[in-house]
Structure 1
Amino acid sequence: MEKEKIHAYCLQLHATTHDYKEEWQADRYHIGEKMYAMIGGKGRLVLTLKCEPARAEVLRESYNSIIPGYYMNKTHWNSIYMDATEVPMDLVEQLIQHSYELVYSKLTKKAQKEIGLKETN
């Protein structure tokens, strides 16, 4: 996975904002001020994404490069090693979209209305 491709993919999602958290050495991506993706880690970089718990477990069992969320709630977040070759980019994009939609769905109705999320498919 290339960091630049993931960065570009996240930024094309409607109303995404990006920041860099210096103390975490991490790029963070938000919808409505709530994080849905993060690229960081000390040493080996990981992409961390929110995931529905049952799906998170299936992914961890299916791919050695997908682990419980690095420094996150292990039930609701997965991390994917950025140097992984076994996880196809189309799956990574689907997981980013899934994370984005999960976080969006948890925003207040007011915040959702302000964002005005467009249908993605």
Structure 2
Amino acid sequence: MKRDAIVKHETLIEYGLTKLGSVHDYEAAWEADRLKVAGKMFALLGDIDGRPIITLKCPPALAEQLRDANPEVIPGYYMNKAHWNTLFLDGLLDKAFVHEMIDISYQEVLKTLPKKVQLTLSAP
């Protein structure tokens, strides 16, 4: 049975699009929405067995801490398990926590971009 999200995909996409240079698309093959910056994904929104999720990049040490502390956070579904976490959106996670994880993911991806792109995206 499909469970309703406490934090809706639409509101998370809207929040992600507030990040400088971010864009949204839909990957039909994955049946998932994506948020990207400079062509690099920083959020993947979909579901696992009817449960709404968001998958986000995270520093490995923090990713592990979050998984240990919260059953609603698991290793990245179909992603590099060291650098990505999947958060279930129909459980106990509140919007502020999910927004913070989106912020971290965006920053983690930003760090991997060429310096020139980083400077463009950090300009006021």
The aligned counterpart of 1:117 is 122
Question: CA offsets, 1:41-91, max 9 Å, x none?
Answer: 34322100000000001100111110000000000000001212x212111
Q: Say if 1:24 and 1:41, in contact at 8 Å, map to a contact too.
A: no
Q: Which runs of 4+ in 1 moved over 6 A?
A: none
Preserved CA contact (<8 Å) 1:31 1:104: yes
Is 1:67 paired with 2:74?
yes
Q: Distance in 2 between matches of 1:53 and 1:36?
A: 15
* Count of aligned residue pairs for this structure pair: 117
Check if 1:103 corresponds to 2:113. no
TM-score scaled by length of structure 2? 0.88
Structure 1 gaps of 5+ residues are none
Report deviation, 1:3. 1.3
Unaligned runs of 5+ in 2: 1-6
Q: Secondary structure at the match of 2:51?
A: coil
The 1:14–1:54 alpha-carbon spacing in structure 2 relative to 1, beyond 3 Å, is same
Identity %: 40
2:36 pairs with one of 27, 30, 33: 30
Q: Does 1:80 align with 2:66?
A: no
Aligned pairs for 1:10-29 within 5 A: 10-29=16-35
